[in-house]
Amino acid sequence: MNYQIKKSSELTDHETQHILSLWEVPEWSGMTPSDFRSFFKNSEFHFISGSEDEIPAIVRLNFDFFLEISGKQYSFAEAVGLVSAQKKRGYGSQLVQSFKENLIQRKIETIGFCFADLRPFYQQCNIEILENKAKAILENSENRWISSEDDDILIFNGSGETRELLRQLNPEKNAYLITKNNTMNYKNPDEHGYYGEFGGAFIPEMLYPNVEELQKNYLKIIESEEFQDEYQDLLKNYVGRATPLYFAKNLSRKYNTQIYLKREDLNHTGAHKINNALGQVLLAKRLGKTRIIAETGAGQHGVATATACALLGLECIVYMGEIDIQRQAPNVARMKMLGAEVIPATSGSKTLKDAVNEALRDWINNPVTTHYVIGSVVGPHPFPDLVARFQSIISKEIREQLKEKIGRENPDYVIACVGGGSNAAGTFYHFVEEKEVKIIAAEAGGLGIDSGKSAATTFLGTLGVLHGSKSLVMQTEDGQVIEPHSISAGLDYPGIGPFHAHLFKEKRAEFFSINDEEALQSAFELTKLEGIIPALESSHALAVLDKKKFREEDIVVICLSGRGDKDMETYLREIRS
């Protein structure tokens, strides 16, 4: 038998599945190897191996673990998940002995926990047992501190000071267990661009040099001090950030809860899209690109990209569905005035999906000089992560503004509309790993989920590949994309980004389908109650207020992703009817 140590990223797919079968944890039974590596990214796996990839015994060393005692934090590693495939064969005690020797050699202070009936086993392994001391350790469960289910603390390796500290624990002197080992990494993809099973880069060979160039350089560039200095200066002095977090007192009174609106509609160009467009055009310049292409649905991303190109002196071509050009005429005029060439997409449904197709074809034909500024958290890796990082300024500001207004950083709920999902990714970004914050996404239900005219992907979609990434896609049984429908051009898309598909699959976010009529009524309601005319996209998020009951004391933050002047023709048509 060989003693081995591997990080989660070093485990083979076979090893991850074998370990899960040994642990027999029901809620982990469907975990993919990619999920496993992300979930346990800060752990080591110590095991003994036999022939034919057999793992007779395994224990996990968890580094995301510390105890808070009398207001002070003490770091330990935690030994957890010790299991032997066959009882009374000596595999478990053999592993524990090698494990303990390794910890002592590496000077890693490590504790564990056990039930009282396992004391004889650990006594046989010469592990120090602090009997009944685990009951003095409190764990957080649904925002309440409760006693540990374990009985004893195990000391695999620890200093005299550590031993004395733990011996002093009692019902009057508790320790608080603080760990993130049960938190998925929702914010960022793995090194291959996957959020769980969603993401990746499924692209034609002609695009490999472009995408690979981005993958290798985007983090290095956008995290550099020089880039951030210029980008943050533009966000503050050109875009007008930080955008207000407005307490909507009239809306709050009607729904008997505390509603705050994140006013992305007050950005320069009238929507959140400028956050990403400026960042990507700055990135493109540093990559030596001279020509920018973009797709747009509602026109907000097209306007933002044309604005950034005008400011920074780059050629700009925007692809837009022929139908969207008609229903978003004010934004088309803005793009042209800003110097962009607007090219209609005349295939398919002549909406956002088809504009993305045309932009990708352009990029294939012009790979050297051109950068494609994708406007949402869709497309091949690294675009979903790149766009989410640029839009994360939204949730960063929400935390800071809530702290100033109410004395705490986290709301009870954050709500945003989701098409591809860029404003939602930005709104959720800094909250997805905060368990106490509930996340709600509003999709475009169109004329109804069962009407054949909808864009509610989480209700209607299945696993597929769209525009270079694996995600949930509205498609037929043989993989043909189903044409979506929404009154909102920005949500008229037959898929969602992999970031959101992962949140949906893991039940980290609650998704609602909002019909056209519900969105319209919410737009008129906000206008009449607060004097704010929202974009139709944002109105889908507002409509959640009629779908879900909130408590009076709940802090509910809704992203008002854009202003409604682009949708005035639709609103006027509704008024006349």
CB-based contacts of 153, cutoff 8 Å, min separation 6: 111, 112, 113, 129, 130, 133, 134, 137, 166, 169
Give the 3-state secondary structure of residue 285: helix
Instruction: Give how far the C-alpha of residue 87 lies from the chain's centroid of Cα atoms, to the nearest Å.
Output: 41
The neighbouring-strand residues paired with 128 are 155
Q: What are the distances in angstroms from CA 309 to CA 65, 162, 435, 571, 575? A: 47, 59, 39, 31, 37
Other residues' Cβ atoms within 10 Å of the Cβ of residue 551:
11
- Specify the DSSP class assigned to residue 483: P
Other residues' Cβ atoms within 10 Å of the Cβ of residue 68:
14
Locus of tokens 């690109």: 289
User: Using an 8 Å Cβ cutoff, are 289 and 371 in contact?
Assistant: yes
Q: How many Å apart are CA 273 and CA 116, to the nearest integer?
A: 57
User: Using an 8 Å Cβ cutoff, are 494 and 525 in contact?
Assistant: no
CB-based contacts of 380, cutoff 8 Å, min separation 6: 193, 200, 201, 202, 203, 207, 211, 467, 468, 469
Q: How many Å apart are CA 353 and CA 371, to the nearest integer?
A: 19
- The closest alpha carbon to 127, from 49, 66, 178, 59, belongs to 59
> Which residue numbers are catalytic?
273, 295, 561
How buried is residue 522: exposed, middle or buried, by Cβ count under 10 Å (0-12/13-18/19+)?
A: buried
Q: How many residues does the chain have?
A: 577
State the SS3 of 94-152.
Answer: HHHHHHHHHHHHHCCCEEEEECHHHHHHHHHCCCEEECCCHHHEEEEECCEEEECCCCE
